[in-house]
Amino acid sequence: MSAIITLTTDFSLADAYVAAMKGVILGINPEVKLVDICHSIKPQNISQAAFILSTAYKFFPQRTIHVVVVDPGVGTERRAIILRTPLADFVAPDNGVLSYVIQDFYQTPPVEQLQPIELPPELEAVAITNPEFWQSPVSATFHGRDIFAPVAARLSLGSPPTDFGETITSLTVLPLTHPYWVQDDILVGHILHIDNFGNLITNIKSEDLPATKQAITIEVGSHSISGLNRTYEEGKGLLALIGSSGYLEVSLKEGNASTFLNAEVGGKVKIRLGNQ
Amino acid sequence: MSAIITLTTDFSLADAYVAAMKGVILGINPEVKLVDICHSIKPQNISQAAFILSTAYKFFPQRTIHVVVVDPGVGTERRAIILRTPLADFVAPDNGVLSYVIQDFYQTPPVEQLQPIELPPELEAVAITNPEFWQSPVSATFHGRDIFAPVAARLSLGSPPTDFGETITSLTVLPLTHPYWVQDDILVGHILHIDNFGNLITNIKSEDLPATKQAITIEVGSHSISGLNRTYEEGKGLLALIGSSGYLEVSLKEGNASTFLNAEVGGKVKIRLGNQ
Amino acid sequence: MSAIITLTTDFSLADAYVAAMKGVILGINPEVKLVDICHSIKPQNISQAAFILSTAYKFFPQRTIHVVVVDPGVGTERRAIILRTPLADFVAPDNGVLSYVIQDFYQTPPVEQLQPIELPPELEAVAITNPEFWQSPVSATFHGRDIFAPVAARLSLGSPPTDFGETITSLTVLPLTHPYWVQDDILVGHILHIDNFGNLITNIKSEDLPATKQAITIEVGSHSISGLNRTYEEGKGLLALIGSSGYLEVSLKEGNASTFLNAEVGGKVKIRLGNQ
């Protein structure tokens, strides 16, 4: 079957860990299409992996299988899971790495701190406990190769999730930050991610901004930006726009905003209603 | 159809931008073969992308589709284009990133500065203006995902270029530097690219050198190299040879010439006829 | 034929050298599956490439073809070879890059210094001397593209190794270091590799350790670690465990052991029998 399996890990491409996973997958389903989403996740940075995955998975065809191996608890009691959504399947540790995927099924932020949440009815989840399809022997330190890869490959051949373990009804999610109004006219958001261009991608989405076309000022550190641009090319210096994933971004024309502003993930970005 | 689509971008693999493009392509043509040419182009470095592409595309099978997304002007009036050559198809912004591809159809340097040039009859070009095949909605900031990817995927299914917009007869090219004689016996060239080994790849091609087997001296900074080697392994210290893309390279045996010479792209390399 | 070809090089992904090889391969066998093992081998670091390859190749399906191009002697008299093992085929320069693959067929370390060894009967090797299947013309500096790639592609179509040159009976292997006992109770090993997480992977395998469950202390620099962990998550600070490739590793919980210990490849790690 010509299914697609994507891989997201913190393994980098400087080792052969990713390749070993691909070898295992191709040994089970030689026809599968393998696509790398990202292997540059910072070691054990679950929230970064969760965000990166969220910016890509919706663009893959229905029933693509996304394997995520950012797994500091490998070999311990943390669960390995399959999550089936109407669009896609996910094979990952149950450590919050699917938080954005799950959150898309909630209207409001589901949790304030790392914890399990009850799944809505559209989502089906299974704890991977049946060793029948694992590599043998299973290492204690590389479940990506020995459990996630062979499970994803079997799943790509059409096995139902329940072949791999028992149905579960709650999954762990990260306490994702959401922008909040501190005054009637000030919205506070945070930087979720800094991309390769140095763009600061915030947790402020276009729907968080006033629907009316009123003037806004974007503040980051001691800098202010008047209003939103449509492209990276208009204007000059610092600019803000709604990026291709729907988040407000701060960018520096022909430069690197992150370096220029000395910005970091988690830093604040404020929206002030009205002109500067 | 089992076509090949290659991707060259400045997105790096640290974000999921490349993966999103692949997801879109596979959603349209599940059978396509995706090959990464390079995603480490320096942000918005059009000339680097143009050079890297030129060293690889000729080695792909006929009718491979090469997508290039180094696109500082995304969302502005710059055109998105399809270029069809006898060998391959290219989908890219019209910003000079196909300059080396186009130049291969000219005997002499076509332009002295960034400008549009009239295409020779072997080349067919189309401005991508028909939104029928684009992602909907189209972002203003990620045409790689929303325009170039779906257009390349449809093209790989056999659609003719004219399905995507109107034929155009001129394209933008960069003012590519060419080596020039400053005296009867001194040829001045420039460093086009520094590769991962630290080799300095110049714009001097073997056909720019005297056809007779006369002695030459290669000068870079305050260093001189006598004659050309055939391999990186002969001799010792600095050496020069005609590399695998036909350009004169300066290399350091068992070392990094770029670091040793503190060389940069754009730096001068001189050929002096006669011995040192 | 839907064969698999893997690639391991020191080319990095910042140039288009890897892509040029893929283009050549797909021109000969459009149906082949291409998998990157690693392109971040340090320039001309044959022993690193040999180790990285060894951690991945066993996880690929039978008859996968592994191409390795870490080739400082390209264009000189060094031989290009095909090695056929019961599991897989390898296409590489004869410079020691297949040392770990070959060593798996010997009970004891085959050599003390870089030299050719006689192959055991399970292994079949051929010197690639028949230019019929090479790119034409062949560059002197990029046999990866002009010889190894087309040979691997033809091999993936079912050609027997002897189509490419004459059978040979010895290959070059590196003098791989093995742990040794300096006293009845002290085993000395070395760091073979430092992975992306900063884990120190040593040449000590579980079978080198006492079979009885006696206490051991692992010493690295001025630090001591008591006993072996099962996972990276147990305990705190420095820890040691048998990693997923069967080698003893030193790791730092939630940190980078390599940076913390200022460790380098080749550094010593000692096992002392008994408690600290």
Q: What is the pLDDT of residues C228-243, one digit of tens each?
A: 999 998 878 999 999 9
A233 touches chain B (CB under 8 A): yes
Q: What is the pLDDT of residue A175?
A: 85
> What is the pairing mode between strands A89-93 and A80-84?
antiparallel
**A-C C-beta contacts closer than 8 Å:** 98
Is residue A276 very low, low, confident or very high in pLDDT (cuts 50, 70, 90)? low
Strand ranges across the sheet with C80-84: C33-38, C4-9, C65-69, C89-93, C80-84, C124-127, C167-168
| Cα–Cα distance measured from residue C188 to residue C272, given in angstroms and rounded to the nearest whole number | 9
A20 touches chain B (CB under 8 A): no
Considering just the CA atoms, what is the radius of gyration of chain B in Å? 20
Q: What is the pLDDT of residue B176?
A: 84
B23 touches chain A (CB under 8 A): yes
C34 touches chain B (CB under 8 A): yes
| Cα–Cα distance measured from residue B16 to residue A51, given in angstroms and rounded to the nearest whole number | 10
| Cα–Cα distance measured from residue A54 to residue A238, given in angstroms and rounded to the nearest whole number | 26
B195 touches chain C (CB under 8 A): yes
| Segment A143-183, tens digit of pLDDT | 999 999 999 999 999 999 999 999 999 999 998 888 999 99
Express as a percent the part of chain C with pLDDT over 90: 83
The Cα of A87 is separated from the nearest Cα of chain C by a number of Å equal to: 26
Q: What is the pLDDT of residue C51?
A: 97
> Which residues lie closer than 8 Å to A117 by C-beta, 6 or more apart?
A102, A110, A111, A170, A171, A172, A173
Q: Is the pLDDT of residue C110 over 80?
A: no
C275 touches chain B (CB under 8 A): no
Nearest to C38 among A14, A21, A34 (CB): A14
| Cα–Cα distance measured from residue C167 to residue A95, given in angstroms and rounded to the nearest whole number | 53
Over residues A77-100, the mean pLDDT reads: 96
| Segment A108-123, tens digit of pLDDT | 666 666 678 889 899 9
| Cα–Cα distance measured from residue A4 to residue A56, given in angstroms and rounded to the nearest whole number | 14
Q: Are B139 and B145 in contact (CB under 8 A)?
A: yes
Q: Cβ of C35 and A24 within 8 Å? A: no
> What is the pairing mode between strands B80-84 and B115-118?
unpaired
Nearest to C26 among B4, B53, B244 (CB): B4
Q: Which residue has tokens 């299988």? A: A65
Q: What is the pLDDT of residue A214?
A: 83
| Segment C168-192, tens digit of pLDDT | 999 999 988 889 999 999 999 999 9
Chain Cα centroid distance, residue B217: 28
Q: Are A225 and A240 in contact (CB under 8 A)?
A: yes
Instruction: Please tell me which residue of chain A has the smallest CA distance to B20.
Output: A56
* DSSP assigned state of C229: B
* DSSP bridge pairs for A90: A66, A83
The rounded mean pLDDT for chain C is 93
Helix axes A17-28, C46-56, angle to 10 degrees: 30
Q: Which chains touch C (3 or more CB pairs under 8 A)?
A: A, B
| Segment B15-33, tens digit of pLDDT | 999 999 999 999 999 999 9
**Most C-contacting residue of B59, B68, B194, B236 (CB-CB within 10 A), to test interface:** B59
Q: Cβ of B27 and A61 within 8 Å? A: yes
| Cα–Cα distance measured from residue A247 to residue A119, given in angstroms and rounded to the nearest whole number | 25
Over residues B43-71, the mean pLDDT reads: 97
Nearest to B27 among A53, A60, A231 (CB): A60
Express as a percent the part of chain A with pLDDT over 90: 83
Express as a percent the part of chain C with pLDDT over 70: 96
Nearest to C26 among B36, B38, B61 (CB): B61
Using a CB-CB cut-off of 8 Å, the residues of chain B touching A230 are: 75, 140
Q: Is the pLDDT of residue B220 over 60?
A: yes
| Segment A186-240, tens digit of pLDDT | 999 999 999 999 999 999 999 999 877 789 999 999 999 999 999 998 878 999 9
Taking alpha carbons only, the member of B255, B172, A182 closest to residue C44 is B255
Q: ipTM of this model?
A: 0.95
Q: Which chains touch A (3 or more CB pairs under 8 A)?
A: B, C
| Cα–Cα distance measured from residue C134 to residue C201, given in angstroms and rounded to the nearest whole number | 38
Using a CB-CB cut-off of 8 Å, the residues of chain B touching A55 are: 15-17, 20
Taking alpha carbons only, the member of B142, B154, B27 closest to residue A87 is B27
Instruction: Please tell me which residue of chain B has the smallest CA distance to C31.
Output: B2
Q: What is the pLDDT of residue C212?
A: 73
User: Distance of CA B117 to CAs B48, B169, B172, B237, Å?
Assistant: 20, 8, 6, 43
Cis peptide leading into residue B137 (ω within 30°): yes
> Which residues lie closer than 8 Å to B213 by C-beta, 6 or more apart?
none
Is residue B211 very low, low, confident or very high in pLDDT (cuts 50, 70, 90)? confident
Cis peptide leading into residue C137 (ω within 30°): yes
Over residues B248-275, the mean pLDDT reads: 94
Over residues B89-115, the mean pLDDT reads: 84
Q: Cβ of B26 and A60 within 8 Å? A: yes
B129 touches chain A (CB under 8 A): no
Is residue C108 very low, low, confident or very high in pLDDT (cuts 50, 70, 90)? low
A15 touches chain C (CB under 8 A): yes
Q: Cβ of C37 and A19 within 8 Å? A: yes
Q: What is the pLDDT of residue B109?
A: 60
The Cα of B215 is separated from the nearest Cα of chain A by a number of Å equal to: 43
| Cα–Cα distance measured from residue A104 to residue A120, given in angstroms and rounded to the nearest whole number | 11
Q: Cβ of B233 and C76 within 8 Å? A: yes
Over residues C149-159, the mean pLDDT reads: 98
Enumerate domains of chain C plus CATH numbers: 4-173 (3.40.50.10790), 180-273 (2.40.30.90)
Q: Cβ of A15 and C55 within 8 Å? A: yes
> What is the pairing mode between strands A200-205 and A247-252?
antiparallel
| Segment A27-68, tens digit of pLDDT | 999 999 999 999 999 999 999 999 999 999 999 999 999 999
| Segment B114-158, tens digit of pLDDT | 678 889 899 999 999 999 999 999 999 999 999 999 999 999 999
Taking alpha carbons only, the member of A46, A81, A45 closest to residue A66 is A81
Q: Cβ of C37 and A16 within 8 Å? A: yes
Q: Cβ of B59 and C20 within 8 Å? A: yes
Q: Kindly report the CA angle at C164 between C161 and C165, in degrees rounded to 5?
A: 100
Q: Cβ of B231 and C30 within 8 Å? A: no
Q: What is the pLDDT of residue C59?
A: 97
B258 touches chain C (CB under 8 A): no
